Amino acid sequence: MAERAALEELVKLQGERVRGLKQQKASAELIEEEVAKLLKLKAQLGPDESKQKFVLKTPKETLMGKYGEDSKLIYDLKDQGGELLSLRYDLTVPFARYLAMNKLTNIKRYHIAKVYRRDNPAMTRGRYREFYQCDFDIAGNFDPMIPDAECLKIMCEILSSLQIGDFLVKVNDRRILDGMFAICGVSDSKFRTICSSVDKLDKVSWEEVKNEMVGEKGLAPEVADRIGDYVQQHGGVSLVEQLLQDPKLSQNKQALEGLGDLKLLFEYLTLFGIDDKISFDLSLARGLDYYTGVIYEAVLLQTPAQAGEEPLGVGSVAAGGRYDGLVGMFDPKGRKVPCVGLSIGVERIFSIVEQRLEALEEKVRTTETQVLVASAQKKLLEERLKLVSELWDAGIKAELLYKKNPKLLNQLQYCEEAGIPLVAIIGEQELKDGVIKLRSVTSREEVDVRREDLVEEIKRRTGQPLCIC
């Protein structure tokens, strides 16, 4: 291995030598001599190696480290003689690969796409094997906590706009957890497993969590108690300040860093007007594999559930955090690109919105058609085709029934089922008079409109701008 590196270095130097001689227009003999030396060196390297382009180190541990045991949930494609492929498990690893591949140092991007996991599906609870992920990330070296604050602002804006109920965003920091466990006496090797117990505090009582840590995970009871003193706390910026004064925690460098950043974060969140939605929660400890700083999770405070139906349960609808080390794992030079981001749990949100619409008995339209072109008598297909084409050309959303001689009643029924608000009725008499009957489907009110005014009238009624969209 050392020999190889030395050899590669020699090849490089010899190559430069040859180039130099050519530039200086040295004698042909001399150049030929040095070129021969170069070729000999290259031959020693061996043919295969020189074909390796874009080589970078990505130990299987990278993917293992990201997905851990979950890597058994990855869908592989059959080996059909070409490259070995797998379906993406999330959007974060592809993002890191994209940044490293394009040598980007900063970008603010969103990505909404399906990901694939060979999980045990629980479709009633919104757990599928193919499902949407909705990621937003800011990559780059910036002044502390500004992009982090924007991520939280975005999360709040989205959850408010979706109108799925009140929500709370829990915030914590990996370094605070690390420091807290260290001063409580948790060994490095137990870190992850203790985290996963602590994280259950949002669903079960402290007693149960403590029993799991002591009884199942072999943690000393005193250590568990010390942990308990911390993780049951949550609050606003005042809690941050309180912990900054904590005699033990303030001795821990990591925890201090985390607390300092959270203090700054709260300042920014207040300027963004969302501090009332944020809770600093020391029990937030999930999904820590690659987070390196602030972490957050949004939960609905009250899931609207139908009477008699199992509620979707307390569950997160969005989560995220800072992960400064991931891109470095892909970059050949290990160059770090700090990242902070969030992921919206859209599948869960789909279910909630669907439930809500059912509860409100709101009919969901599946088309946007504004007007049906109908005929009152037989043999008017030509007129219908001509008229609907005029409407399409004017940018109006219109349909007609695919029947030569449809009954008016059927055409009206079609409108009611599809929620089409207007129907333009062509009739023999009206044709002679040069008008179309424009009818509102819900109110049944009708008015005769001159053929040449029809487009404008429909646009006026549907609130469309008069120019073509």
Cα dist from 329 to 68, 115, 178, 336, whole Å:
15, 21, 22, 8
Question: From CA 15, how far away is CA 9, in angstroms rounded?
Answer: 10
| In the complex, least distance from residue 130 CB atom to its own copies, rounded to whole angstroms | 5
Tell which one of 329, 396, 426, 458 touches its own copies (CB under 8 A): 396
Binding mask 321-340 for its own copies (x = CB under 8 A): ---------x-x--------
Q: Is 461 annotated as a binding residue?
A: no
Identity of the residue, 119 or 448, whose beta carbon is nearer to its own copies in the bound complex: 119
- 426, 374 contact by CB (below 8 A): yes
| In the complex, least distance from residue 396 CB atom to its own copies, rounded to whole angstroms | 7
Identity of the residue, 225 or 350, whose beta carbon is nearer to its own copies in the bound complex: 350
| Segment near its own copies (CB under 8 A); pick from 40-48, 56-64, 206-214, 309-317 | 56-64
Identity of the residue, 75 or 206, whose beta carbon is nearer to its own copies in the bound complex: 75
Q: Is 269 annotated as a binding residue?
A: no
In this structure, which amino acid lies at residue 380? L
Q: Is 91 annotated as a binding residue?
A: yes
The count of other CB atoms within 10 Å of the CB of residue 377 is 12
Interactions with its own copies, residue window 132-161 (CB under 8 A): 138, 140, 142-143, 146-147, 149-150, 153, 157
Question: From CA 450, how far away is CA 457, in angstroms rounded?
Answer: 9
Q: Is 384 annotated as a binding residue?
A: no
The token duo for 455 is: 């487009």
The count of other CB atoms within 10 Å of the CB of residue 76 is 10
User: Among residues 259, 280, 251, 245, which one has the least CA distance to residue 183?
Assistant: 251
**C-alpha dihedral sign at 226, 228, 229, 235:** positive
Question: From CA 203, how far away is CA 209, in angstroms rounded?
Answer: 10
- 14, 44 contact by CB (below 8 A): no
- Determine, following the binding rule CB under 8 A, whether residue 51 of this chain makes contact with its own copies: no
The count of other CB atoms within 10 Å of the CB of residue 85 is 11
Identity of the residue, 2 or 307, whose beta carbon is nearer to its own copies in the bound complex: 2
What is the pairing mode between strands 130-139 and 107-116? Answer: antiparallel
The token duo for 123 is: 């479709």
Question: 235 forms bridges with which residues in the sheet?
Answer: 280
Identity of the residue, 177 or 388, whose beta carbon is nearer to its own copies in the bound complex: 388
Question: From CA 135, how far away is CA 125, in angstroms rounded?
Answer: 21
Q: Is 109 annotated as a binding residue?
A: no
Tell which one of 188, 310, 445, 452 touches its own copies (CB under 8 A): 188
| In the complex, least distance from residue 355 CB atom to its own copies, rounded to whole angstroms | 20
Q: Total residues at the site for its own copies (CB under 8 A)?
A: 68
User: Among residues 412, 176, 141, which one has the least CA distance to residue 280?
Assistant: 176
| In the complex, least distance from residue 158 CB atom to its own copies, rounded to whole angstroms | 12
Identity of the residue, 109 or 461, whose beta carbon is nearer to its own copies in the bound complex: 109
| In the complex, least distance from residue 53 CB atom to its own copies, rounded to whole angstroms | 7
Question: From CA 315, how far away is CA 298, in angstroms rounded?
Answer: 8
- Determine, following the binding rule CB under 8 A, whether residue 467 of this chain makes contact with its own copies: no
Residue in the structure block whose two tokens are 């020999």: 3
| Segment near its own copies (CB under 8 A); pick from 208-216, 295-303, 353-361, 384-392 | 384-392
Question: From CA 178, how far away is CA 180, in angstroms rounded?
Answer: 6
Question: From CA 83, how far away is CA 190, in angstroms rounded?
Answer: 38
Q: Is 137 annotated as a binding residue?
A: yes
Q: Is 133 annotated as a binding residue?
A: yes
CB neighbour class for 452 (10 Å; exposed up to 12, middle 13-18, buried from 19): exposed
Secondary structure (3-state) at 463:
coil
| In the complex, least distance from residue 257 CB atom to its own copies, rounded to whole angstroms | 18
Tell which one of 217, 379, 386, 404 touches its own copies (CB under 8 A): 404
| In the complex, least distance from residue 301 CB atom to its own copies, rounded to whole angstroms | 21
| In the complex, least distance from residue 405 CB atom to its own copies, rounded to whole angstroms | 8
User: Among residues 237, 228, 188, which one has the least CA distance to residue 208?
Assistant: 228
| Segment near its own copies (CB under 8 A); pick from 233-241, 344-352, 363-371, 450-458 | 363-371
Interactions with its own copies, residue window 63-102 (CB under 8 A): 75-80, 82-83, 85, 87, 97-98, 100-102
Q: Is 125 annotated as a binding residue?
A: no
| In the complex, least distance from residue 132 CB atom to its own copies, rounded to whole angstroms | 10
Q: Is 326 annotated as a binding residue?
A: no
Identity of the residue, 74 or 244, whose beta carbon is nearer to its own copies in the bound complex: 74
- Determine, following the binding rule CB under 8 A, whether residue 40 of this chain makes contact with its own copies: no
Question: From CA 15, how far away is CA 18, in angstroms rounded?
Answer: 5
Question: From CA 334, how far away is CA 274, in angstroms rounded?
Answer: 36
Question: 66 forms bridges with which residues in the sheet?
Answer: none
Question: From CA 331, how far away is CA 335, in angstroms rounded?
Answer: 6
Can you give the binding site for its own copies, defined by CB under 8 A?
1-2, 52-60, 75-80, 82-83, 85, 87, 97-98, 100-102, 107, 109, 114, 116, 118, 130, 138, 140, 142-143, 146-147, 149-150, 153, 157, 188, 268, 271-273, 330, 332, 366-369, 381, 385, 389, 392, 395-400, 402-404, 418, 469
Feature table: binding site: 90-92, 117, 133, 137, 286, 290-291
Feature table: binding site for L-histidine: 90-92, 117, 133, 137, 286, 290-291
